[in-house]
Amino acid sequence: MYPSIITIYFDTNFFVWLAQANDAKAERVIADLNDRGVRHVISLVHFCELLQAWQRGEDNRRLYARLQAMRNEPLLSVTDSLYCRSCDTTLTKPPPARNPSSGS
């Protein structure tokens, strides 16, 4: 048993594979990752690529269920500016809210 959490940024292809793998393989991989204390990163790039690059429906349901089986909650990665190769777009998070009383 591993004592600490290991954070790993998987390529989008891992998530596509996880959605499409047979149950036995997916369960084995998830069990191995859980045993090692792995938590995965979900980023804006993942959202963009997954929404544009693959089938919906049953794959989405399977991926959701399989990610729920991961013991450690994912790390959500939101950067100020992130380029998404598959949709040729720069994704940005909104600027911080302005404080009207500060005069800025």
- Look at residue 49 in the predicted model and tell me its pLDDT: 77
- Domain ranges within the chain, ordered by starting residue: 6-91
Three-state SS letters, 6-59: EEECCCHHHHHHHHHCCHHHHHHHHHHHHHCCEEEEEEHHHHHHHHHHCCCCHH
Per-residue pLDDT of 29-82, as tens digits, reads 999 999 999 999 888 778 777 777 666 677 888 888 999 999 998 887 765 455
pTM above 0.85, yes or no: no
